[in-house]
Amino acid sequence: MDIVSLLLWILNIISLLLIGRALISWVDPGYNWSISRALYSATEPILQPIRQVMPNTGMFDFSTVVAIVLVQILARLIVSAF
């Protein structure tokens, strides 16, 4: 496995974790389940800086969508660079 494939694999895993967190937040918004806490711990370091620069939109948190878009842009940049 070359470095590009590894980076793309990592970015895909990050995207899946972000999607998983968004989906599980609908059924366990308090992060009471262990899987919810694990997803929170894995994705919060990515989402927190995005929340700090985004304007407050009330009850909707668009940081997950922004993070997924940024990860996909990064993946496309990596593919086009190599």
Q: What is the pLDDT of residues 48-58, one digit of tens each?
A: 999 999 988 88
Alpha-carbon distance 17 to 61, whole Å? 16
Query: The domain containing residue 20 runs over which residues?
Result: 3-81
Mean pLDDT score of the chain: 94
pLDDT of residue 58: 80
Q: What is the pLDDT of residues 62-76, one digit of tens each?
A: 999 999 999 999 999
Count of structural domains within the chain? 1
pLDDT of residue 57: 83
Pull the structure tokens for residue 65: 């969508």
pTM of the shown model: 0.90
Alpha-carbon distance 64 to 68, whole Å? 6
Residue 1: is its pLDDT beyond 80?
A: no
9-34: average pLDDT: 95
Closest CA to 39 of 19, 59, 62, 61: 19
